[in-house]
Every structure is written in C-alpha cells, then in structure tokens.
Amino acid sequence: MDDCIFCKIIREEIPSQRVLEDGEFIAIRDIAPKAPVHVLVMPREHLASLDEIGRWDGGRAEKLLHFTVAVAEAAGVRESGYRVIINVGPDAGQEVDHLHLHVLGGERLGGLA
Ligand code: 5GP
Ligand code: ZN
C-alpha cells in the first residue's frame, strides 16, 4: 500500500528500530512506547487489520504467533512475561491500518485483561 506508514517502514522509506525480521514478518520498536519494552510485530504483506486474516492460507497465522514469541525472546521479556495486544477497528483505537501486534513488557503491567 503506497500511503501506509508501516508499509513505508517495511520498504525502509521510513527509519525504524528493528528487533527481528524474516521473510514474512518484521518487529520494530514503537515510536511512542507505553512500557519499557514496546515492540510492534507485523506481516510484510499489507492486511488492514486482524479482520482480514481470512485471506491467509493455513499455517501463516500460527507462524506469526511463533515469530511473536521469538520477538519476546529477542526483546528480553520472554522469561519475565509480556502482553500481546491487537487493536481492531475504531472502538479499539486502531490508529494504523496495517495488521500489527503490540508486545509489551519490562515492568508489571496494569490494565484490562
Ligand atoms: P494501534 O493503535 O494502531 O494499535 O497502534 C499503532 C502504534 O504505532 C502506536 O503505538 C504508535 O505509537 C505506533 N506508531 C505510529 N507511527 C509510527 C512510526 O512511524 N514508527 C513506529 N515505530 N511506530 C509508530
Ligand atoms: Zn501497510
């Protein structure tokens, strides 16, 4: 997507701090971290949100979850614990319309769930 900020980051047209990447997914530091560790995990392919996951064939979503665990390891929070959040649509406050998972940790997290 030409005007998608995360697609621009993936194409390296906008700089980011990469934590981990492979052929399908990348993980970057959030520009406005809400915890000591705040990493965004996203597919290189543009999906507007989790709502479009039905476009993927079997196994790809599972790979994304395994990649997310590897991101937690790389970010140093796998043992201490972390939270994974996916905002979908307006009521969740989704700001960037490119599927991404937030990985939050590095301190005891409060919150809803
Ligand atoms: P959402 O609310 O869509 O789930 O989360 C979007 C996240 O992207 C926010 O936490 C915001 O700080 C982050 N973000 C927005 N623009 C940029 C950017 O240009 N670079 C990085 N690294 N993060 C961004
Ligand atoms: Zn995109």
Beta-bridge partner residues of 83: 104
| 50 pocket-lining for ligand 1 (C-beta < 6 Å) | no
Residues 93 and 87: their CA atoms lie apart, in Å, by 7
Give the chain's domains with CATH numbers: 5-105 (3.30.428.10)
Q: Which of 35, 43, 51 lies closest to 4, judged by CA?
A: 43
- Say which of 38, 98, 100, 102 is annotated catalytic: 100
* Cβ 87 under 6 angstroms from ligand 1: yes
Structure confidence at residue 1 as a pLDDT band (50, 70, 90): confident
Nearest ligand 1 atom to the CA of 34 is 10
Taking 70 as the threshold, does the pLDDT of residue 3 lie above it? yes
35 lines ligand 1 (CB under 6 A): no
Q: Does the annotation count 46 as an active-site position?
A: no
The whole-number pLDDT of residue 113 equals 63
What is the tens place of the pLDDT at every residue in 79-100?
999 999 999 999 999 999 999 9
Whole-prediction pTM:
0.97
